[in-house]
């Protein structure tokens, strides 16, 4: 892991959609200083990304490979993501991490059992490394991507290449411009019914997306008794568990250490999930 902030050169910028870009950089030279073995992140881990002169924010890794090429995928929303969006190849950003726990892949996946991967909007990014890993482990899975409109669909070519054999990529758009028309949670319910009819057991749901949507999905999974994992987003300063900015009530867990990925067991006890967030003053506000 990269302990201190280290500056890296952006090696590649790829425009995924109108507001979304993937930024790649190589970390090989940084990692060698800490360990002789190649460090492999876990799907779902995040970096603290510093845009010099602007801000430093937590961003999940959207890709990494064995040559040390790492990527982050960002949507232009705030001051820092806007600054990131405007960066070009050859520009410098600071990184440290990866931090957090990452997704846990269940070991007891039987035949005829299914894993769902559910992504809302751009937040598919942290799930891409998970998809790669599941594919490598030859697990059977279904991907549902829910977006507002066709032009927001990202990583489609990527996913289709991976998933076409299983016909396991489902896309929903709110305006019906592509795939299923309506909310992704409704689509999820439909597929769930169908799979159950065919006798497939739903083993696990991995998800990432706007928190309200994730909360809804969590409630569906609770009703159907399906194990669930989701990655949460909170404001962070340190990323390694001392500032307390990302604490969830009432159990006092920190998103940067015990998270950002949480399972059903923890989410059941978390009264903030889907309801409250904190700003930089530590004050809570309704999501």
Partner 1 sequence: MVESDYQINLKQRYLDHFWKKEELDKSKQKLKKKTDSELLEVNLCNLELESPLILASGILGVSSSLMTKIKKVGAGAVTTKSIGPRPRKGYKNPSIIPIDKKTFLNSIGLANPGIDYFLPEIKKLKQEKVKTIVSVFGNSIESYIEIAIKAQNAGADAIELNISCPHDNISKICQDKQLTYKYVAAVKKELKIPLFVKLSPNVTDICEIALSAEKAGADAVTAINTVNAMAIDIETQRPILSHGSGGLSGKAIHSIAIKKVYDLYKVLDIPIIGCGGIFSWKDVVEFFLAGASAVQIGSAMYQGINIISKINQGIIKFLNENNFESISDLTGIAHNFPMQTDPDF
Smallest distance from the beta carbon of 53 to partner 1, in angstroms?
Answer: 7
Q: Output b/e per residue, 118-140; b: 16+ Cβ within 10 A.
A: bbbbbbbbbbbbbbbebeeeebe
Report the site for partner 1 in 84-113 (rule: CB under 8 A).
Answer: 92, 94, 96
Residue appearing with tokens 């990655």: 231
Q: Which is nearer to partner 1, 220 or 238 (CB)?
A: 238
Considering only residues 240-259, where is the footprint of partner 1 by CB under 8 A?
A: 240-245, 247, 249-252, 254, 257
Q: Output the six-digit token pair for 127.
A: 């799930």
Which of 121, 285, 277 lies closest to 213, judged by CA? 121
Task: Confirm if 48 and 92 have CB atoms less than 8 A apart.
Answer: no
- Least distance CB 3 / partner 1 (angstroms): 5
Q: How far is the CB of 5 from partner 1 (least distance, A)?
A: 6
In the bound state with partner 1, the residue whose beta carbon lies nearer, of 9 and 219, is 9
Nearer to partner 1, 182 or 241 (CB): 241
- The CA-based angle 233-239-243, given to 5 degrees, is 100
Cβ closer to partner 1: 3 or 18? 3
In the set 15, 32, 34, 52, which binds partner 1 (CB under 8 A)? 52
Q: Shortest distance, CB of residue 278 to partner 1, whole angstroms?
A: 8
Q: Give me the residue label for tokens 């319910």.
A: 189
**Least gap, CB of 241 to partner 1 (angstroms):** 5
Nearest distance from C-beta of residue 220 to partner 1, angstroms: 27
Q: Are 10 and 105 in contact (CB under 8 A)?
A: no
Q: Which is nearer to partner 1, 9 or 190 (CB)?
A: 9
Confirm or reject binding of residue 199 to partner 1 (CB under 8 A): no
Q: Three-class SS of residue 107?
A: coil
* Closest distance to partner 1 from the beta carbon of 76 (Å): 18
CB 94 within 8 A of CB 49: yes
Least distance from C-beta 215 to partner 1, angstroms?
A: 19
User: Which residue number, 18 or 32, has a Cβ lying nearer to partner 1?
Assistant: 32
What are the residues facing 14 on neighbouring strands? 22
Judged by CB under 8 A, the residue of 13, 87, 238, 266 near partner 1 is 238
List C-alpha distances in Å: 169 to 18, 77, 97, 145. Answer: 22, 27, 31, 8
Q: Over 202-251, what HEC string results? A: EEEEEEECCHHHHHHHHHHHHHCCCCEEEECCCCCCCCCCCCCCCEECCC
Q: Which stretch binds partner 1 (CB under 8 A): 30-38, 46-54, 131-139, 187-195?
A: 46-54
Alpha helices in 64-205 (DSSP H): 79-85, 128-136, 156-163, 184-197
* 33 sits near partner 1 (criterion: CB under 8 A): no
Say whether residue 55 binds partner 1 (CB under 8 A).
yes
* Closer by beta carbon to partner 1, 57 or else 124: 57
Applying CB under 8 A, the residues found at the interface with partner 1 are 3-5, 7, 48, 50, 52-53, 55-57, 92, 94, 96, 237-238, 240-245, 247, 249-252, 254, 257, 278-283
């Amino acid at each position: 892991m990269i302990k201190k902030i280290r500056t890296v050169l952006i090696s590649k910028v790829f425009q995924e959609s109108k507001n979304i870009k993937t930024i790649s950089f190589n970390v090989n030279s940084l990692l060698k200083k800490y360990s002789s073995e190649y460090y492999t992140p876990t799907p779902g881990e995040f970096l603290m990304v510093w845009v010099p002169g602007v801000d430093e924010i937590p961003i999940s890794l959207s890709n990494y490979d064995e040559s040390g090429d790492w990527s982050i995928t960002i949507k232009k929303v705030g001051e820092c993501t806007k600054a990131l969006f405007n960066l070009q190849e050859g520009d410098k950003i600071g990184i440290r991490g990866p931090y957090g726990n990452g997704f846990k892949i269940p070991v007891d996946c039987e035949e005829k059992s299914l894993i769902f991967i559910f992504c809302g909007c751009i937040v598919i990014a942290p799930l891409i490394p998970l998809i790669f890993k599941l594919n490598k482990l030859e697990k059977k899975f279904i991907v549902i991507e829910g977006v507002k409109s066709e032009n927001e669909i990202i990583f489609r070519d990527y996913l289709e290449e991976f998933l076409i054999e299983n016909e396991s990529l489902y896309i929903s758009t709110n305006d019906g411009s592509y795939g299923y028309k309506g909310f992704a949670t409704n689509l999820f319910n439909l597929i769930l019914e169908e799979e159950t009819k065919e006798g497939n057991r739903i083993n696990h749901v991995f998800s990432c997306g706007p928190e309200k949507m994730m909360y809804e999905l969590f409630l569906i999974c609770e009703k159907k008794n399906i194990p669930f994992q989701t990655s949460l987003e909170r404001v962070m300063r340190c990323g390694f568990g001392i500032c307390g900015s990302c604490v969830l009530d009432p159990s006092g867990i920190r998103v940067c250490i015990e998270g950002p990925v949480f399972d059903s067991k923890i989410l059941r006890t978390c009264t903030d999930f889907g309801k409250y967030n904190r700003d930089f003053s530590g004050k809570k506000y309704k999501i």
